[in-house]
Every structure is written in C-alpha cells, then in structure tokens.
Structure 1
Amino acid sequence: MPSTPSARATGGDRKTDASDALHVAQVALFRHDLRPVVPDDQTTILRLLTERPDDLVHERTRVLYRLHAVLRDLLPDGAPTGLSADKAAALMKGIRPVTATDNRRRDIARAVLADLCRLDRQVKDNEAEMRKAVAAARTTLTTLPSPGTVLAAKVLGHVGDVTRFPTEHHLASYTGSAPVDASSGDNVRHRLNTGGKRALNSVLHTIAICQIRDDGRGQAHYLRKISEGRTPSEARWALKRRLSNVVYRIMKRDQRNHLARAA
C-alpha cells in the first residue's frame, strides 16, 4: 500500500505554496472556532497610516545625511549637527560659489533640500490624516494618560476588532506584555517576553515610560512594584501588563457604545 505524505513531510516531498494552502484548508475543515474573513475597515486605514511614517522618517534621515555631506564641502566651517530644512536654507543663502565644482555642489544641495522639504510636508500631511482617522474611529483611547493620537492610532490599527480576543489575557499574550515566569524555588522572577506583536509592545513600552516619569496611577503602580522588591525592569513589565488590560477594557467599552449608537 503506497504511503501518504504527511502534512510536514521532509526529504523528497518538498513544501510548496499549493501544498501549504491545501494543509491550511484541511485544518480549517475541522476547526469551528476560526474567525471568518471580513472586509478591511477603519482599523486597516489606521494601520496603514501608522506604518507610513516609518518609511518617510527613514527616507528623510537618508536625505538629511546627504544634504549634510554636500553642505560640509560648501561651507568653510562645515555643516552643523541638528540640521533641518529651515537651517539648511538659511546656510545656503550665504554660499557664494567660486568654482564650477562648487556651483554644481550648490545645485545638488538645492535639489536635496527640495527633497527634504517634500518629505517634511508628507510627514505633516500623514499626521493630519491620522488625526482625522482617529477622530472617525470615535475612540476614547486618547483619554488614557500619555498615548496621544499616533499611539492610539497604532493600537487601533494593529489590534483591529477587539472581540477577536476573548479576554484581556489573550490581548496581553498578543502584545507580548505578559512577562514570562522565570521563577526558581522560592525565588520568584520574571523575564522579558520577546514574543507577541512588537509594534503593539513598543506602544505599551512608550506609554509606560511616559507614565513612570509623570505623576499618576501609572507611576504609583510602578513604585508599588519597586517597593515589593521588583527590579525596575520587572516593575516596568508589570505596568505594561496593566496598560494592556486597560487598553482592552477601553476598546471593549468603545465597541459597546458604538453598537448602542447604531441600534
């Protein structure tokens, strides 16, 4: 009787996209707890808007380095650090090229400066669109101390439909904010969770750092963990875990309010 290749066959039965798709379909036939595919919604728009600045900032940094290098060859004292489009434009007004080479350098500097100004405008335009999208989502995440519009947009964009997480513990696992137990005997310790959605983990980390710095419940929670014998890192992880729970409750409440208004 011929053998049947398994779903995780190795050797001669190489994996292909077609076989992967078949195995996924076979698993789906016997799983009734999978979420159905739904059309993209406002949260998808928010995720796209929050991902766009990363590309713009990386490109802006590259252009800024290029502009700094060109101005360094044009200015007797070189170009200062902390260069911006306005500072570069002011410096270029005083440049008086003598040679044909310096004339070409100035032309290149002008072109690179135009690229920098364009990228600055795109960053601002993207921020304006993000604010509009967050307002359209009618979220109350922005009332949480320290998140701001950009961080709220990242949470909404990457979490999506919060009902796909049955409990706050599931969301904490998804964000990687639940510390991993590393206890040994009577020595209770936890280590950093390196799993989960890193974009969301980064948002929670930023909010935690801001709340630790400022007076409020976040700082009080952090200091309480320190007084209990936790290390600063462990106290910060505990605050991130608490923030994940708060985010979950806020998003669930917002969803109930949306459904009530739609009814």
Structure 2
Amino acid sequence: MTMPGGDVTTAANMLSEIGDINRFPNANKLAKFAGICPINFSSAGKGKDMCPKQGNRRLQAIFYFMAIQMIQISTNGTPRNKIFREYYLKRVAEGKNKQQALICIARRLVNIVYGMLKNHTEYREPEQ
C-alpha cells in the first residue's frame, strides 16, 4: 500500500493472486506466472517476441493498471511518478507503441513488488 497508485483493494487483490511469495525463486518466475514476460515465437531463425496468452490474467491486469497509475499526470501537470513517466516517454520515443511501453513498466513493477514482498520492505522511489 506504500506504492503510489495502490490502495487497500489493489494490495489485497495482488496478495491474494500471488499467494506465498516464497514459491517464486526470482522475479522472472513471478512475471511468467503473471503473463507479463515476452515469449519468443520463432522458426528457422525468423520470429518475434509476443506477449503470452497464458498466465494469471487477473494479476496481469493489476500490474497493467498500476502501470497506468504510475504514468498518470495530475491536474496541476505533475506526473504521479516522475521516473516511470520518463521511462514511458523514452520507450515510446524508441518506437514502442503505448501499450508495449505500459507492459515494460508493468514488468518493472513486478520486480519492485517481488523485492518488497520478499524483503518485507516499503516502497522507495527508484533512483535515476
């Protein structure tokens, strides 16, 4: 609940979907469980990375909507989370569409949430 954009309902839903964090040895496994990590579909050296269709769809939605919360701009013109907003704009400038950039942010949120749950710590602003 210390993360901006998260409230009691979001935290409760996330914890109920994740369950025991100790069943995931690292954040990559949690991302795969949530269906956020890209999968390479290729044959004969040709292919592309795509978002998987499997995974926990409710958990994926929670992370996706938290990513939207992170890049929102308030009515006075300041972003809710400046670092995530800059990262989002950088990804869009690199050629990703807006949805892909949000998935990149959701993947970073998985790493942050995993670290918070594993180490029993509160949210700290990422450093640049």
* Matching residue of 1:177: 36
C-alpha change, 1:189 and 1:146, in structure 2 (3 Å) is farther
Runs of 4+ in 1 over 6 A off after TM superposition: none
* Matching residue of 1:209: 68
Offset from partner CA, 1:23-54 (integer Å, 9 cap, x none): xxxxxxxxxxxxxxxxxxxxxxxxxxxxxxxx
Q: CA deviation at 1:162?
A: 0.4
* Matching residue of 1:237: 103
1:154 paired to 2:20: no
Q: CA deviation at 1:188?
A: 9.1
1:192 paired to 2:58: no
SS of residue paired to 2:55: coil
TM-score by length of structure 1 reads 0.39
Offset from partner CA, 1:174-226 (integer Å, 9 cap, x none): 01111233689xx9964332211111111001101111223122222211211
Indicate which of 204, 223, 230 corresponds to 2:89: 223
SS of residue paired to 1:143: coil
In structure 2, C-alpha distance between the alignment counterparts of 1:156 and 1:169, rounded to whole Å: 17
How many residue pairs get aligned? The number is 112
TM-score by length of structure 2 reads 0.77
Identity of aligned residues (%): 30
SS of residue paired to 2:112: helix
Offset from partner CA, 1:48-71 (integer Å, 9 cap, x none): xxxxxxxxxxxxxxxxxxxxxxxx
Larger Rg: 1
In structure 2, C-alpha distance between the alignment counterparts of 1:213 and 1:190, rounded to whole Å: 27
C-alpha change, 1:225 and 1:189, in structure 2 (3 Å) is farther
User: Which structure's relative contact order is higher, taking Cα pairs within 8 Å and 6+ residues apart?
Assistant: 2
In structure 1, C-alpha distance between the alignment counterparts of 2:105 and 2:30, rounded to whole Å: 15
In structure 2, C-alpha distance between the alignment counterparts of 1:203 and 1:197, rounded to whole Å: 10
C-alpha change, 1:232 and 1:181, in structure 2 (3 Å) is farther
- Residues 176, 196 of structure 1: 8 Å contact kept: yes
Q: Structure 2: where are the runs of 5+ without partners? A: 74-78, 122-128
In structure 1, C-alpha distance between the alignment counterparts of 2:51 and 2:37, rounded to whole Å: 8
RMSD: 2.2
Match runs of 1:57-136 below 5 Å = none
Greater share of strand: 2
Q: Structure 1: where are the runs of 5+ without partners? A: 1-141, 256-263
- Residues 146, 211 of structure 1: 8 Å contact kept: yes
Offset from partner CA, 1:119-155 (integer Å, 9 cap, x none): xxxxxxxxxxxxxxxxxxxxxxx11110111111011
